[in-house]
Amino acid sequence: MMASAMPVPQMVMKQGYRELRIEIARDLERRRTNLLDVNPDRPFIKGSSTEDISSSIAALSKQAIDTSYASLSIVAMKKAARLLLESRRIAYYAIGDSCASCEVFAQLLYKVGIVCSNGMPKGDYGVFERTLDPRDLAIVVSHSGTLFSNHARTFEVMRASGCKTIVITANANLREQLMGTDCLFILPQGEERTERLATFYSQECIRYVLNCIYAKTFNINYQQNLTRWQQNIALAQDSEAL
């Protein structure tokens, strides 16, 4: 007759479980430490494993948000939210990936009853700024700041109109040029235009600031906006049921 297997003492099992948890925690900490400073221009290299790429992008995103949070102007954020609520018309000015980030921001605003349109649509360039006045708001997003030099005339007209402005850029050298801006957000520099593989870092910074502005705007009329969100969800569910 075969002898039955000896039961593993419960104390040994608990000890093994604790050791496993400690080893997992140590491994996670090693990975976190190794990825604290990810190169924004080259967060991964040729031959990087899938795990390394996913870890690097996660670390880079956290790095972008942490540095953006550290430099965020609370005063500017409060004022930006008020301008969004009080302005007659709102338009955003951005190109490339920054334009895509602004489109997402505009969609969020639309869901709480604020219309924010593209000030630089194809085939309709220059129309909005020629009709601006002090009741309007322009949101200008350019991480590098080149938008201001490439479209200098646009911003001259905008400034002359007296419309309100929110500017988001990482080019700190533009501070003097942007004197008089109602809300100025200076982002961490991060990437180099000629070296980067993509705009992971800069767009994470931009989206963080835009999300903060949106959240503050939402919170000013919190219950009203919450009710509107719930109604929109109910309408969407009814439409899907048809």
Q: What is the mean pLDDT of residues 168-183?
A: 91
Residue 74: other Cβ atoms inside 10 A: 9
Q: What is the mean pLDDT of residues 106-122?
A: 90
For residue 107, being part of any structural domain is answered with yes
Whether the pLDDT of residue 123 is over 70: the answer is: no
For residue 34, being part of any structural domain is answered with no
For residue 151, being part of any structural domain is answered with yes
Domain membership of residue 204 as a residue range: 67-233
* Range in 66-80, 114-128, 133-147 with the lowest mean pLDDT: 114-128
Residue 205: its pLDDT value, please? 95
Predicted confidence band of residue 29 (pLDDT cuts 50, 70, 90): very low
For residue 173, being part of any structural domain is answered with yes
Please tell me the distance from the alpha carbon of residue 107 to that of residue 92, in angstroms, as a whole number. Answer: 12
Please tell me the distance from the alpha carbon of residue 7 to that of residue 112, in angstroms, as a whole number. Answer: 62
**Which among 31, 40, 79, 82 is positioned nearest to 61, based on CA atoms?**
40
Name the helix (H) or strand (E) containing 139: strand 137-141
For residue 131, being part of any structural domain is answered with yes
Which of 26 and 85 is assigned the larger pLDDT?
A: 85
CB–CB of 53/101 below 8 Å? no
Residue 219: other Cβ atoms inside 10 A: 10
Amino acid at 19: E
Which residues, 6 or more positions from 199, have their beta carbon under 8 angstroms from its beta carbon?
Answer: 96, 97, 143, 191
**Which among 31, 35, 73 is positioned nearest to 57, based on CA atoms?**
35
Residue 199: its pLDDT value, please? 87
For residue 60, being part of any structural domain is answered with no
Write out pLDDT tens, residues 182-212.
999 999 987 776 677 788 999 999 999 999 9
For residue 28, being part of any structural domain is answered with no
Whether the pLDDT of residue 5 is over 70: the answer is: no
Residue 50: its pLDDT value, please? 92
Residue 168 belongs to domain with CATH number = 3.40.50.10490
Residue 70: its pLDDT value, please? 93
Tokens 């093994």, located at residue:
16
Please tell me the distance from the alpha carbon of residue 59 to that of residue 43, in angstroms, as a whole number. Answer: 9
Beta bridge partners of 5: none
Whether the pLDDT of residue 221 is over 90: the answer is: yes
- Count the domains in the chain: 1
For residue 177, being part of any structural domain is answered with yes
Instruction: Indicate whether this model's pTM tops 0.95.
Output: no
Write out pLDDT tens, residues 147-172.
988 888 888 888 889 999 999 999 99
